[in-house]
Amino acid sequence: MGNTPNRSPTHRDVDMNRLAGLGMEVEELAEGGPLTTDRLLRYAEEQGKPVSHYYAAIALATELELPSAPVTAVFCAGKCQSWGALDAIDEAAAQWEKRGGGFAIGVRTCLDRCEDAAVCQIRTPAGTATLVRVRPEDVQKALDEALG
Ligand code: FES
């Protein structure tokens, strides 16, 4: 893992104990089938919790793999949480709902650009765009560009 930003954290991380509990929930969910964006969104809604917390738990508290798609938005859900990664993930989920799918959401513990947290990659058949210091509106714009 690289350096963290000199900038002061702007957001609060999900507590590790809580992530462990959420991780167990998603492991159970994974026994019923692949963790598609659709299933995760519906599950988070049923539980009344932000889907980004489940995504962070998948990255940090499980060995689970998320399915990818031709267009996949991959987020760092590690230390980037302190600089707004969860908001960016929730925005991707909101975009997914709005569009009725069309892309997948992935998570990693680090995307090696820690000094520019929060970090997201938009992976498409044409290549990968790395977004740094990403805010929710940047995610929306990048998905608009990738998906038309
Ligand atoms: S912690 Fe390294 S890119 Fe987010």
Domain that holds residue 59: 16-147
Tens of pLDDT, residues 29-58: 999 999 999 999 999 999 999 999 999 999
Whether residue 89 lies inside any domain: the answer is: yes
Domain containing residue 92: CATH number: 3.40.30.10
Gyration radius from the chain CA atoms? 14
Calculate the average pLDDT of the chain: 95
Count: domains in the chain: 1
**SS3 letters for 84-133?**
CHHHHHHHHHHHHHHHCCCCEEEEECCCCCHHHCCCEEEEECCEEEEECC
Whether residue 7 lies inside any domain: the answer is: no
Atom index in ligand 1 nearest the CA of residue 79 equals 1
Tens of pLDDT, residues 93-108: 999 999 999 999 999 9
Alpha carbon separation from 30 to 8, 25, 69, 121 (Å, rounded): 36, 9, 18, 24
77 lines ligand 1 (CB under 6 A): no
Distance 83 CA to ligand 1 centre (A): 10
